[in-house]
Amino acid sequence: MMRALAMTLCGLSVLAFAEGEKPNPYLAQARVFYQGGEFKKCLDRVKQAERWDSSIKELAEVSLYAGLCHFNVRKQKDAELDFLRAVQTDPSLELPAATSPKIVEVWNRVRAKVPRPESPPEPPLVPTAKEPEPEPVAVAAPTQRPLAPVPFELETPETPERQTSVAPFVMGGVAVAAIAVGVTFGVLANSTYATAMGAPFQSDAIAQYATAQTWALVANVSYVTAGAAALTGLLLFFLQR
């Protein structure tokens, strides 16, 4: 009887030891419920995961998922306490991918309160032996021979030839062409006006009169253009003198 009891206790201790070595199954279930949006079931699994013989990293993740689920059920203060406990347990812990920006903001605020572990100081640099500098070698200065004077002649600068621009002549041609156009349309205007005055019907007279006014306007614009071109050509001609 005592031997059977001892064997039973030994088996239970071995089973408990093996159970402690296994990953926390409730933590894995909490992750699944969190990803599925079932936050209350996630909190139930977190409570069970807290009683499991977990590693340090698993304990930090248990507190992390407790904070994530508390935040989603509108318990921000509990979430902040869970986040603080998670960071204190494992300072290298990170949030899951695609976490809400609001949760990230709270996480960063809580994480800023926990000091990061200091990195080990860098070993001091060992000074290397300085190589001796080479002694300067005296170099004889090269002897310079006096330069012979080079005869030179002063060159008188050539005055550039003044080029005659063709712009005045172009403007003169424009003026002549404009006068010709003005004369042509002036003759057309007078002829059309005469036709309008002798038209038997009033409608024909009005149409001919309107055409005569258009020709007269074109003739006047041509005369003005000719005068402006002629004046511009004269000014350019005298400016080049």
CB 209 within 8 A of CB 193: yes
- Which amino acid appears at position 107 of this protein? W
The CATH architecture to which 17-111 belongs is: Alpha Horseshoe (1.25)
Residue 103, Cβ neighbours under 10 Å: how many?
18
Nearest to 87 by CA among 54, 61, 125: 61
pLDDT of residue 182: 84
Walking along the chain (241 residues) 10 residues at a time, the average pLDDT comes out as 40 41 86 92 91 90 92 91 91 89 91 72 61 65 58 58 75 88 89 83 82 89 90 83 70
Burial environment of residue 52 by CB neighbours within 10 A (0 to 12, 13 to 18, 19 or more): middle
Where exactly are the structural domains of the chain? 17-111, 167-239
What's this model's pTM, rounded to 2 decimal places?
A: 0.42
pLDDT of residue 70: 93
Which letter does DSSP use for residue 44 in this model? H
How many alpha carbons lie under 13 Å from residue 74 in its C-beta half-sphere? Answer: 0
pLDDT of residue 224: 93
